[in-house]
Amino acid sequence: MRILVIGSGGREHALLAGLAKDSSVELTVAPGNAGMASLATVRDVDVKNPEDIVALAKEINAELVVIGPEIPLVAGAVDALVAAGIPAFGPTKQAAQLEGSKAFAKDVMAAAGVRTAQARRVTVEDEIDAALDAFGAPYVVKDDGLAGGKGVVVTHDREEAKAHAQAVIGAGNPVLMESFLDGPEVSLFCLVDGETVVPLLPAQDHKRAYDNDEGPNTGGMGAYCPLPWLPEGGVERIVDEVAKPVAAEMVKRGIPYSGLLYVGAAWGAEGPSVVEFNARFGDPETQPVLSLLETPLLEPLWAVACGRLRELPSLQWKPGYAATVVLAAQGYPAQPKTGGVITGEGLDDPTRVLHAGTGRDADGQLVATGGRVLNALGQGETLEAAVANAYEVIDAINLDGAHYRRDIARPAIDGRITLK
């Protein structure tokens, strides 16, 4: 089967690695990165232009297109592909509003009876102070639009919260002010086909740039799965209390959801409450989650794209745990320095290293082209072993000025994550 994967980051490298488990596939990725050439033909494409994606899919006679990032989904890439008769994995433009508009997502959750934070939509600067007063610290300020995982500020510093709100409104987007949701966060990926929901393994992301959850929010500095602290039946509760009601509400509205629904939830005293939805696989949680999937990835993606998820056999998983640690370029997330040469071990092994922001210079050397450069992967019978293996991989990679967190999964390993 000829498959086109759209995207260029660590998530897409993980998708390619999962799809490559099926020897019958012929993989193309666009725009891709330097680490993907061993798994797929790398082509160029404008991810913001659905017609460009359709043209490439037609050129290579793609039989399935898998959309990785959110931008082409919100732009309507799946709609254009389906209209051209090409099966695609991902939600339509309207359904992708669950990520593209936080206000839309709040409205869906209210109708579906799903727990989430209280929120107020602010569109002019004059309303910012009143909203901050209403919710109090810690302040939660969200860009009501796409922001690549970096549009949220959670802080006790009122001036920082206000400055972020002003910046968002100044850029032309509304702001969502929310009440703070207490409790550890869970990332649960759910395959969704209409009202059929199939969960993957629960994971946890580390958003802050530095150890001990200090520094600014990033796209994610590491992740691990499954979660040893999640209560028995926790996944089922998120599915039953969040994913299924939302899927049913989308069907009721005449915009059924098809693809991957990422549920980001805080586990508080009453159980899970939604922090956010994404309309695609999350990054970097995808990397450890898919590394434990025994079932060839093509099977569930194809089942969803064809509207046959309910017929899919149970997914099979490797035992144990997996973790990823992100190698970030100097200056990330504010002003990442690109162009640095990357050397070390495991750079060509997708079971150990997944590329996120890499390219080749004029001399053919591997160089950093983005803020999040690489993902080091580790697996083990215990979470501590999995994390140790990931650090063994990342410690063998060299990039001048690069940084990475040293405490991925440490609160879980040390038993410091407690539920109310």
Our measurement of the distance from residue 144's CA atom to the centroid of its chain's CA atoms, rounded to an integer in Å, reads 17
- How far apart CA 77 and CA 347 sit, in angstroms, is 32
Residue 219: strand, helix, or coil? coil
* pLDDT score recorded for residue 203: 98
What integer pLDDT is reported at residue 172 of this predicted model?
Answer: 87
pLDDT digits over 282-338, tens only?
A: 999 999 999 999 999 999 999 999 999 999 999 999 999 999 999 999 999 999 999
The predicted pLDDT at position 154 comes to 86
Look at residue 147 in the predicted model and tell me its pLDDT.
Answer: 60
Q: Could you count the other beta carbons within 10 Å of the beta carbon of residue 318?
A: 12
pLDDT value of position 173: 86
SS3 373: strand
Q: What is the pLDDT of residues 350-392, one digit of tens each?
A: 999 999 999 999 999 999 999 999 999 999 999 999 999 999 9
Cα-flanking dihedrals φ and ψ of residue 164, to 5°?
A: -65, -45
Q: pLDDT tens across 242-268, in order?
A: 999 999 999 999 999 999 999 999 999
What confidence tier does 153 reach under pLDDT thresholds 50, 70, 90?
confident
Judged by average pLDDT, the poorest of 16-30, 124-138, 404-418 is: 124-138
Average pLDDT rounded to a whole number, residues 126-154: 82
At 179 the pLDDT is 86
- One-letter amino acid identity for 378? G
* Of 34, 19, 38, the residue nearest 374 (C-alpha): 34
Which is it for strands 222-225 and 119-122: parallel, antiparallel or unpaired?
Answer: unpaired
Q: CB of 352 within 8 A of CB of 343?
A: no
Is it the case that residue 111 has pLDDT exceeding 60?
yes
- As a 3-state breakdown, the chain gives helix, strand, coil percent values, each rounded to 5, of 30, 30, 40
For residue 178, what pLDDT band results from cuts at 50, 70 and 90? confident
Contact 117, 95 (CB under 8 A): no
Judge whether residue 149 has pLDDT over 60.
no
Query: To the nearest whole number, what is the mean pLDDT of the chain?
Result: 95
DSSP H helical segments within 262-409, as ranges? 286-291, 298-305, 383-394
pLDDT higher than 60, residue 150: no
pLDDT(44) > 90: yes
Q: What is the pLDDT of residues 74-86, one digit of tens each?
A: 999 999 999 999 9
Lowest-confidence pick of 102-106, 192-196, 279-283, 405-409: 102-106
Q: Which residue has the higher pLDDT, 174 or 33?
A: 33
Cα separation of 300 and 189, whole Å? 13
* CA–CA distance, 346 with 351 (Å, rounded to integer): 9
Q: How far apart are CA 216 and CA 154, in angstroms?
A: 9
Prior bond to 72 cis, omega within 30?
Answer: no
Q: What element of type H or E holds 191?
A: strand 185-193
CA-CA distance, 77 to 375, in Å (whole number)?
27
> 381 to each of 98, 205, 232, 388, 415, how far by Cα in Å?
36, 20, 19, 11, 17
What does the alpha-carbon distance between residue 284 and residue 288 come to, in Å, rounded to a whole number? Answer: 8
Structural domains in the chain, sorted by start: 2-92 (3.40.50.20), 118-178 (3.30.1490.20), 185-311 (3.30.470.20), 321-414 (3.90.600.10)
Which residues contact residue 395 at a Cβ distance below 8 angstroms, ignoring those fewer than 6 apart?
none
Q: Is the pLDDT of residue 17 over 80?
A: yes
For 381-419, what is each residue's pLDDT tens digit?
999 999 999 999 999 999 999 999 999 999 999 999 988
Residue 373 CA, distance from chain mean position: 16
Residue 72 pLDDT exceeds 60 = yes
Mean pLDDT for the stretch of residues 141-156:
75
d(CA 261, CA 278): 6
Q: Which two tokens stand for residue 390?
A: 């990931």
CA distances from 346 to 139, 296, 374 (A): 41, 23, 11
Smallest CA-to-CA distance from 179 within 146, 214, 131 is with 131
**What single string gives the DSSP state of each residue in 116-148?**
B--EEEE-SGGGHHHHHHHH-SSEEEEESS--T
| 152-155 vs 175-178, strand pairing mode | unpaired
